[in-house]
Amino acid sequence: MAQVSGRAFDMKLFRRVIQYVTPYKSVFYLAFFLTVFLAGVGVIRPILIGQAIDVYVIGNDAEGLLYLTLIIVGILFIEAAAQFYQTYYSNWLGQSVTIDIRSKLFNHITSFNLKYFDKTAIGTLVTRCISDIETIAQIFSQGLLTIMGELLKLIVVIAVMFAINWKLTLLSLIPIPLLIVALVVFKNAIKKAFQEVRTQVARLNAFVQEHIVGMAIVQVFNREEKEKEKFVAINRQHRKAHINSVWAYSIFFPVVEILSAISLAFLVWWGVGGALRGEVTPGDLVTFILFIYMLFRPIRQLADRFNVLQMGMVGSERVFKVLDTEAHIEDAGTLNSGITGDIEFKNVWFAYSDEEWVLKDISFKVKEGETVAFVGATGAGKSSVINLINRFYEFQKGDILINGTSIRDYDINYLRDKIAIVLQDVFLFSDSIRNNISLYNDEITIDQMKEAAEAVGASEFIEKLPESYDYDVKERGGMLSVGQRQLISFIRAYVYNPTILILDEATSSIDTESELMIQRATDRLTENRTSIVIAHRLSTIQKADRIIVMDNGEIVEQGSHDELLTNEDGYYKKLFDLQFKS
């Protein structure tokens, strides 16, 4: 996995993040104003407490002390209210920015070509969309505005301290150079630790997601213990990364406390003597003690908020790296009409990577309304053909024409709207049958779904389910059989009324009874539309107008079922004999 710089404050990254604040700039300005207000109002209470001691306590003025105490309490309530709204609006701003960035990132990911997902772990993308973006929200809720507030508070406190007594101030600030050195060391240690934390979180997410999805394989092959060992190893690396960050905290915070105590000791040592000599009032001494707590608390908070900012910068850099990834199929086409079903491959060459050709100089034609089947061994290139028609991948040489026009000249959304695919591995969302058919397309009515279910022979089993079309199929359709899931995918293709239909191994994983149902559904679905069928079971494609036989990325023969059987030495004849004799 590529590393990111992880700088504590990257101006270029910050400018990109701050662009998402523009729609909410009024809230940002309000939160900023409250931050400045809190920085100023925070120093008032120590000053008033000092005055209370010098004027009212020493002066034995109980009424004046009560009056000033009420003022201090009032200021405290005002400060608390301002703190509440500052915290609320800062977090509201962070979450608003989060939803915008996350929506943009998700939309960007959905536009990637399939080649990107072949090389990228799904768990890593989940990390980018969820936890990495949460760290960006914290830039506003706990990072940037808080750091600005603490810095302003430091400046105001030091300025007021100098205004009251410059000697006491200088004594109080003696440990500050050591604190700055500690802060620099802490910054460098935590930067590296946080980069490793994000990397290990992504690894952990990827491993868990992949193994939960593939749990059946783990259990079938009795690999629980082995996978547990691998998980423990990854988990240990995850723990080690977090411990490294905790180690930096555990060193830095005690150092701050020690330096704070040293500052207080200098203050008491000189301040008490100054009070005895009349150079410092008791009120000033108490005020300075409160100021020291106010001085070192923001410094400690700054270190903590610096870490939040650090995490936000690391997270934003990772997120923007995905946003900057150009893994799209180029959509320069403008045509949004004219697809009636004629397909032609002209000398097409295709490789998933470099020049490891999966398709080699492929040429064939499919006429409108014709059903053409592709057969061949696994890896022959059959599925690559359908991936190119939909423009899930880009071919490197040759051209693919639909109705005499290159598919690259069609608007990609229009092109895919005219093509429906029924895959071997049917994916159903954890949702109702109704929503899995319509995919939340409001133009598809329940009556259309029922009509389609009747047409493909699926209405009987759907009506028997507890809630019929509102039945929740759970994750990946786990509550349905393989054949039932396949029928749902046929209904989905039917209601979208495609011009071109592609069936990819639609009967390879089902029993004989389900195969007969699927075959009837196939006959109904392919009627009067251009259809491309990929199948291992040759019994399912005997009615095809033409069968194209592929081997090692090349077309080795083609013709009707009967024509191909007349060639005793042909690939199809050997494949047919092998299947039916066995």
Question: What is the rounded distance in angstroms from the CA atom of residue 132 to the CA atom of residue 110?
Answer: 18
Q: What is the arithmetic mean of pLDDT over 533-558?
A: 81
Q: Is 119 helix (H, G, I), strand (E, B) or coil?
A: helix
State pLDDT tens for residues 202-231.
778 777 777 776 676 666 666 677 777 888
Residue closest to 446 by CA, chosen among 459, 456, 457: 459
Per residue in 450-500, pLDDT (tens digit) is 888 887 777 878 888 888 878 887 776 777 777 778 788 888 888 888 888
Query: Please, where are the H alpha helices in 405-469?
Result: 412-417, 433-438, 446-456, 459-464
Pseudo-torsion of CA 189, 193, 195, 198, nearest 10°? Answer: -160
Nearest to 453 by CA among 482, 418, 492: 492
- Mean of the pLDDT values across residues 440-450? 83
Mean pLDDT of 519-543: 76
| Confidence (pLDDT) at 3 | 43
Tell whether the model's pLDDT for residue 247 goes beyond 60: yes
Element (H, E) at 537: none
Q: How many CA atoms lie within 13 A of 336 on its CB side?
A: 7
Clarify whether residues 348 and 318 are in a common domain.
no
CA distance 4 to 135: 15
Per-residue pLDDT band for 5 (boundaries 50, 70, 90) equals very low
CATH number, domain containing residue 381: 3.40.50.300
Return d(Cα 407, Cα 389) in angstroms, integer.
Answer: 8
From residue 302, alpha-carbon distances to 41, 149, 295, 438 in Å are 19, 10, 11, 52
Whether residues 147 and 237 share a domain: the answer is yes
Q: What is the DSSP letter of 103?
A: H
Q: What is the pLDDT of residue 389?
A: 85
Listing from the earlier edge strand, what are the strands of the sheet with 405-406? 357-366, 343-351, 397-402, 405-406
Q: Does residue 501 contact residue 531 with C-beta atoms inside 8 Å?
A: yes
pLDDT (mean) for 86-104: 85
- pLDDT attached to residue 114: 73
In sequence order, the 6+-apart residues with CB closer than 8 A to the CB of 487 are 456, 457, 458, 461, 517, 518, 521
User: Is 51 a residue whose pLDDT tops 70?
Assistant: yes
Same domain, 381 and 306: no
Among 323, 358, 391, residue at a domain's last position? 323
Last residue of a domain, one of 267, 294, 323: 323
Residue 259: pLDDT above 60? yes
- b/e per residue 313-348 (b: at least 16 CB within 10 A): bbbbbbbbebeeeebebeeebebeeebebbbbbeeb
How many helices, marked H, and strands, marked E, lie in the chain? 22, 10
Domain count along the chain: 2
Give a yes or no: residue 3 inside a domain: no
Q: Which of 536, 540, 532 is nearest to 561 (CA)?
A: 540
Q: Are 479 and 421 in contact (CB under 8 A)?
A: no
More confident residue, 101 or 520: 101
Looking at residue 513, what is its pLDDT? Answer: 59
Is the domain of 19 the same as that of 130? yes
Report the C-alpha gap between 103 and 97 in whole angstroms: 10
4 domain-assigned: no
CATH number at residue 108: 1.20.1560.10
Is residue 273 located within the same domain as residue 304?
yes
Residue 191 has pLDDT above 50, yes or no: yes
Strands of the 530-534 sheet, one edge to the other:
419-422, 500-504, 530-534, 371-375, 546-551, 554-559
- Let me know if residue 520 belongs to a domain: yes
Measured over the CA atoms of residue 177, residue 182, residue 188 and residue 190, the dihedral's sign is: negative
Residue 405: inside a domain: yes
Q: How confident is the model at residue 1 (pLDDT cuts 50, 70, 90)?
A: very low
The verdict on 176 and 212 lying in the same domain is: yes
> Quick one: 283 and 373 in the same domain?
no
pLDDT for position 216: 65
- CA angle 382–386–387, rounded 5-degree value: 110
DSSP 125-155: HHHIIIIIHHHHHHIIIIIHHHHHHHHHHHH
Residues 435 and 313 both lie in one domain: no
SS3 381: coil
Query: pLDDT tens-digit profile of 348-358?
Result: 888 887 777 88
CA atoms of 419 and 532, how far apart (whole Å): 11
What confidence tens digit (pLDDT) does each residue in 288-341 have? 888 887 777 777 777 667 777 777 777 787 888 888 777 767 777 788 877 888
Look at residue 81 in the predicted model and tell me its pLDDT.
Answer: 92
> Does 338 reside within a domain?
no
Task: Please count the residues of the chain.
Answer: 582
Using the predicted structure, report yes or no on whether residue 526 has a pLDDT greater than 80: no
Quote the crossing angle between the two packed helices 176-213 and 224-276, to the nearest 10°.
160
Do 128 and 232 sit in the same domain of this protein?
yes
Alpha-carbon distance of 178 to 94, in angstroms, equals: 34
85 and 176 in a single domain? The answer is yes
Closest-CA residue to 515 (of 479, 540, 541): 540
Residues 6+ away with beta carbon under 8 Å from 472: 430, 431, 432, 479
Indicate whether 313 and 354 sit together in one domain.
Answer: no
Q: Distance between CA atoms of 370 and 365, rounded to whole angstroms?
A: 10
**Residue 415 counted as domain residue:** yes
The model's pTM is: 0.67
User: Which helix (H) or strand (E) segment is 189 a member of?
Assistant: helix 176-213
Please report whether residue 330 resides in a domain.
no
User: Residue 212: exposed, middle, or buried by beta-carbon count in 10 A (0-12, 13-18, 19+)?
Assistant: exposed
Give a yes or no: residue 430 inside a domain.
yes
> Which structural domain, as residue segments, surrounds residue 265?
11-323
End-to-end CA distance of the chain: 48
Say which residues have a Cβ less than 8 Å from residue 90's Cβ, sequence separation at least 6: 31, 140, 141, 142, 145, 146
Same domain (yes/no): 181, 266: yes
- Residue with more model confidence, 301 or 79: 79
Tokens 């690894």 sit at which residue? Answer: 203
Q: Which residue has the higher pLDDT, 31 or 190?
A: 31
For 138, 241, 482, the CA distances from 322, given in Å and listed in that order, are: 20, 23, 35
In the prediction, which pLDDT does 467 show?
A: 82
261-281 pLDDT per residue, tens: 888 787 777 777 766 666 777
Average pLDDT over the chain reads: 79
List 375's β-bridge partners, or say none: 549
Q: Which domain-ending residue is among 275, 290, 323?
A: 323
Between the CA of residue 297 and those of 171, 258, 281, 301, 540, what are the distances in Å? Answer: 18, 13, 25, 6, 76
With bands split at pLDDT 50, 70 and 90, how would you rate the model's confidence at 512?
A: low
Give residue 10's pLDDT band: very low, low, confident or very high (50, 70, 90): low
